[in-house]
Amino acid sequence: MEKMSGARSLMVALEKEGVELAFGLPGGANLPIYDELYKSNIRHILVRHEQSASHMADGFGRVSRRPGVCFATSGPGATNIVTGIATAQADSAPMIAITGQVPSKMIGKDAFQESDIIGITNPIVKYAFQPMDAAEIPTVVKKAFYISSTGRPGPVLIDIPKDVQQNEAEMHFPNEVKVRGYHPWVDPDIREIERAIDMLLSAERPIILAGGGVIISSAFAELQSIAELLMIPVVTTFKGKGSFPENHPLSLGPIGMHGHAEANKMMVEADCVLAAGSRFSDRSVGTFEEFEKRLKIIHMDVDPAEIGKNQTTTVAVVGDIKASLRIMVKMLVQKAIKRGDDNPWLKRVNETRDYYRENLKLHPHPLGAAKILRKLREVLPHQSIVTTEVGQHQMWASLFFDVIQPGTFFSSTGLGTMGWGFPAAIGAKAAKPSVPVLDIAGEGSFNMTENSLAVSVLDNLPVIVLLMNNFSLGMVAQWQRTFYDRRMIGIDLKNCPDYVKLAEAYGAQGIRAESIDEVGKAVQTALKSDVATVIDIPIDPQEDVLPFVAPGTPLKDMILPS
C-alpha cells in the first residue's frame, strides 16, 4: 500500500497495463491528470480536437489488439469524444476513454463545463466508471482494461471528478480482477461444431461468410484451412474484408450494398452459410427476411447476444472465433475429411466470378476509381496498413482494392463515421511505426479531421493520404442522382482548399497526381518520405459506385453498371 493522489495512481495503473502512449487534449478538469502525465513514462500525443483523439485510440487498438487510451477534459471535451466512442463500439474496437469531471460536490449543479458523460455514453460503451474515491482508481483501471479487451472488445469510459484526481489515499494495485456477472469467455460446444460440419458436408452449395470477428480473434489461418479442406468459397462482410486473402482462388470478396457482383450472386444461390464473427448487418445482407430464405445458417460468434438477433440460426456456436474454428479444423483433420474441387458448385462459382471480372463495365474516365485503386495495390507493399474515410472512396476500396495480407484493412463500417480514417491511420502508425500506413480518403471526410496533419508532422507519425477528390460529397450526390431525381443540394465542395498547399502549410508533403502513372509515382515517393504525404487526385464527380444494392432491397436486386 502506498499513499498517493488519484491522478498519480491513474498513471501508475496505466503503466502497469503496459500503456506507453496516449492521445488527448488537456483542459481545466483534467489538469491534475496531465500534471502526473508530465512526470510519467507515457508518451502524450497532443491532438487538435478530442474527436481525433478517440479515433487515434481506436486505430491504435484495432492494430495492436490492446486498448488505445485517450484523454479529454469535462463538458465539451468529453462530448467531443462521443463520436469516437460510438464508432469503436459499433466496430468492437478496444479503447479506454478517460475524462475529467467537475469536482464531485458540483456534479448536478450545472457547473461550468459540466456534462453527464456517464449518462450520455451509457448506451455506447461496454462499461462506464465514475470513481468517487481516489482509492478506487487502481481497481477501476484494472477492470476497465479487462472489460475492454476480453470477449467482444469495446470502449470503456472512466470519468474522474477533479477532486478525486487531487485527493490522496492508500492505493492497492490488484494483479487481477473479477467483474460480477461478466463472463467474456465461453468454451465452444463440441456437439454444435460437429453439427456444423455435418451440415456443411450435406449442403450442395455451401459458402463461408467471414466477418470482423475473424480479424479481431486473428483466426486467419483456421478460416483458410477450413475453406481449403472443404473447398468452400469465401465471401466477407465489409468489416471482414481482410479476413481472407482476396487473391485466393476461393475468395469472392465482400458482399452487401457495395459488394462484389459475384459475391452477392453466389450468396443468393447458396443453400448453407457458415457465418464466422458477423452480426448480419443490413448493409451486408440486404433485407433480413429475403437473406435467410433457402439458407441454413451456422453462426459462430463470441457474443451470445448476436445469435438469432438479425437472422434465424440453424446451428449456433458461441465462443472465440479462433477457438471454434481451430476445433473444427482439428475434427476435419482427424476424420480425414478433405474435398476436391471437382464439384458443380465450385464450377458455377468460378464461372460466375470469371464472368463478372471480365465483363463488368468500369468507368471510362482516365482516373476512374478502379484504375486508381488497382494501381495503389500494385505499388503498395502487402503488409501495409490501410484505413479509409467514409464515402464513395470507401466503397470503391471495398470493390477494387484487394487485401492480400489478412488484418491490414480497417474502416468505420458500423457507424460510418466521416473523419475517422486519417486520425485512425495515425493511431495505427503509432501502434506499428515500421509499417507503411495509408488512408484512402475523399475530401468531404478528410475535411473533418484534416487538422490532424499537425499531429502527424509534429509527432513524427507519417502516414499517406490518398485523396480521391471529386469536389463534392460524392455518396450523397450519388444517392440524389439515383433516388431524388437529380435534385442536387448540399454536396458542392468546389471551394475546398488546395490540398497540396494545405499539406505544405502543416509541414507535410503535398503531391497532385493527374494520371495513373503519376498516382503510382506519388505513392512510391510517399513511401520513401519521413513526413505525412497528401496525394490529391482529381476524379470525375459523376462516377458512381457500382454494383450497388439499394437500401431495403435484397442482394438479388443489385444494380449493375450498364
Indicate which residues carry an active-site annotation: 50, 112-113, 162, 475
Q: Please, which residues bridge with residue 169 across strands?
A: 4
Q: Which DSSP symbol is given to 478?
A: H
Q: CB of 500 within 8 A of CB of 510?
A: yes
Kindly state the helix (H) or strand (E) to which residue 298 belongs, with its residue range: strand 296-301
Q: How far apart, in whole angstroms, are the C-alpha atoms of residue 259 and residue 547?
A: 7
Cβ burial, residue 228 (10 Å; 0-12/13-18/19+)? middle
Amino acid at 376: L
Please write down the HEC assignment for all residues of 85-117.
Answer: HHHHHHCCCCEEEEEEECCHHHCCCCCCCCCCH
* Cβ(136)–Cβ(287) below 8 Å: no
Q: Which three cell numbers stand for residue 129?
A: 466508471
CB 452 within 8 A of CB 523: no
Q: How far is C-alpha 435 from the geometric centre of its chain's CA atoms?
A: 18
Contacts with 73 (C-beta within 8 Å, 6 or more apart), sequence order: 25, 26, 27, 28, 29, 30, 99, 100, 113
Distance of CA 191 to the CA centre of its chain: 32
Residue partners of 388: CB distance under 8 A and separation at least 6: 394, 397, 410, 411, 412, 421, 439, 440, 441
CA distance 556 to 131: 52
Collect all residues with Cβ–Cβ distance below 8 Å to 554 and sequence separation of at least 6. Answer: 268, 286, 287, 290, 291
Angle CA(286)–CA(291)–CA(293) in degrees, nearest 5?
Answer: 155
Tell me whether strands 464-469 and 533-538 are parallel, antiparallel or unpaired: parallel
Dihedral angle, C-alpha 17, 19, 24, 27, nearest 10 °: 60
- Burial of residue 293 (number of CB atoms within 10 Å: 0-12, 13-18, 19+): exposed
- 477 close to 545: Cβ distance less than 8 angstroms: no
- Continuous segment of H or E residues that includes residue 182: none
